Each structure stands twice: as structure tokens, then as C-alpha cells.
A and B are shown apart, each in its own frame.
Chain A
Amino acid sequence: MNTQTYFEDIEMLPKEDSVGMLAYCAGFIASLALTLVAYFQVVQQSITGTTLLLAVALLASVQFFIQVTCFLHLRTNKSSREMLAVFCFSLFITGILIIGSMWIMWSLNARMMPGDIEMRAYMERQTGI
């Protein structure tokens, strides 16, 4: 065994030698840029509300995929196929869990009776008591 081939042998790095400084540096610079763009958008508030939220979400997702491909080397080649399958399933579960929980809890919260303070304020408005 030699260190050159070890990481390819254990299916951590793809066999092509194009992986190297390029992938890591490009990934780093892209992630840096995406982080800073998101940061300054929020700080400067050039867009607001839902648009801003979507923009930040998009930037985060893109950075996620860049790091997954450049740092984790998870691609569609043969050696990563099993890890990729497990990864996609994990994303499916993660998505359902977060979005499902948010939907369910929003619905439940919306249909809760108002709390004490709100109830009293409501009654005051209605009856002047």
C-alpha cells in the first residue's frame, strides 16, 4: 500500500487525479463568496422579507452542494454510488422531518385557543370590559 492510492482504494477520493488542490481551493473560494453574499444581503437589507429568506436559503443550499462535491467528493461516479444513495435518502428524511414538522406545528398552533393575555385583550375589545 502506498499513501498515493490508499484514499482511492478505500473509495474516499475518486480515481482521477483532477482531484487535488483545485477542488479544495475552488470549493473554499465559492463557499466564502456565498457566505459573504448572504451576510451582506442580510446586513444591508437590500431585499427584505420572504425574498430575502429565499435568497439566503438558496445561497445556503448552493454552498451545501459545493461543499458536498468539493470537500466530501460525493459525485455520481461508481465508487461513491452507495454513499450517494444513502445521502439522498438522508436528504429526503431531513426534508420531510423539517417541513412536515413545520407544517403540522403551524396548523396546530394556529388552531390553539388564545393565551390568557390575548384572550383578555380580545374580550376587552369586544365588550369594553
Chain B
Amino acid sequence: MSTLKIKEHFGHEERHKDTTTVFGFFVYLMTDLVLFASLFAVYAVLYQNTAGGPKGSDIFVLPFVLTQTLILLASSLTCGLALLCAKKGSIRGVVSLLSITLVLGGAFLFMELYEFGKFIQEGYGPHVSGFLSAYFTLVGTHGLHIFAGLLFGTILIVSLVHSGFTRGNLRKLALFTLFWHFLDLVWIFIFSFVYLGAFI
């Protein structure tokens, strides 16, 4: 496939502006990293405070969480492949791969909400103990970010279908991929230390 030339003017100033935007968004992601670090610190301090309620190994279902993890990892791959399709100039490729990314992300979020719902129904809600408060907040914040990503991605797909490879859409695609990969990075540690960690 041949590369796609865009009619919008993209001189030195525009290049600098978009580089600055990407850098700025990356800095924001780093502040988000510190946000998650604070939540991890809280979890690390409170995870043993079960206040007569369940501990992690009592309620977490590892195969379920493994499935979630693999789904999110796969979505990270499809997201990266979407970026490559944009490089090649294939709008169809970008839209399809982004859609798959969002569907996988949606499945991940659905599974997470299902898990939360099950816990709450069984009486293990976030108001029960320090451990559960910390768990729901840490994993819930990650879920909230995933939801924001789904919103971001959906609007991006609509925009791509509507306007194609404009400078704005390419820039948004760049930011989206950064965001989505970042969320998988954070999930590595949630999976390892919250879920696997409960059984060590």
C-alpha cells in the first residue's frame, strides 16, 4: 500500500506543535503513573486489613483474571497494529483494528464490572474492610481509565470514518495509542501484585 499524502499544511511550526502535544500528553501519563503509584502504596499498606472479611485468596478467581489480562494484552497489540496501518495509509485497517481494540477493551471492562458486581452481591463491597476499599479503588481507577479510553477511541473512530486522515485525527491516534499502552503497563502490576500476589 502506498503512503497517503494529506492536503493540510504541515510545516516546521505544525511539526513542532504536534511534537509538543505528544510530549505534553506523555508527561500527563507520567503523572498518572504517580497517581497509580499512590494507589498501589495504599493497597500495599491495607491489603492485610481484612477486618473479619475475606482476603484476596478467598475471592479472586485466577483463571478469570488471566483471561482479562490476555484480552487486554491482545488489545494492546491490535492498538499498535492500528498505528502501523496509519503509517501505511490504510484507513480501513486503522478503523478495523481500533474497533477490535475497543471491543477487547469493552470485554475487559465488562468482565471487571462482572467481578465487582459478584463481590458486592456476596457482601464483599468496598465498604466492608480496608483491603476491599483499597482493592476496589485501585482496580476501579484502572477501570475508569479504560472507560475513558473506550470513550476516546469511539470518538476517534467516528472522526476517522467521517474525516479520514486529518492532522487532528493522526495526532489523536498517536495520543490514544500512548494512553492504551500505558493502561496495559499499569495492569501488569495489578495482575502481578494484587491478583497473583494474593496467592503467594
> Which residues does A use to contact B, with CB under 8 Å?
1-7, 9-13, 20-21, 24-25, 27-28, 31-32, 35, 38-39, 42-43, 48-49, 52-53, 56-57, 59-60, 63-64, 67-68, 71-72, 82-83, 86-87, 89-90, 93-94, 97-98, 101-102, 105
Contact = CB atoms under 8 A, between A and B. Distances in A.
Contact of B184 (A20, A24, A42, A71): A71
Nearest to B37: A94
Contacts of A82: 23
Given A4-B89, A93-B34, A10 B22 contact: yes
6 contacts: A25-B77, A39-B196, A60-B188, A60-B193, A64-B185, A93-B34
B37 A9 contact: no
A129 to B, nearest CB: 25
B37 A105 contact: no
A40 to B, nearest CB: 10
Contact of A97 (B4, B21, B37, B184): B37
B76 interface: yes
The majority secondary structure among interface residues of chain B is helix
A67 B10 contact: no
B165 A38 contact: no
A86 to B, nearest CB: 6
A39 B196 CA distance: 7
A25 B188 CA distance: 18
A60 B197 CA distance: 12
Nearest to A20: B84
Interface string B51-81: 0000000000010001001100110110011
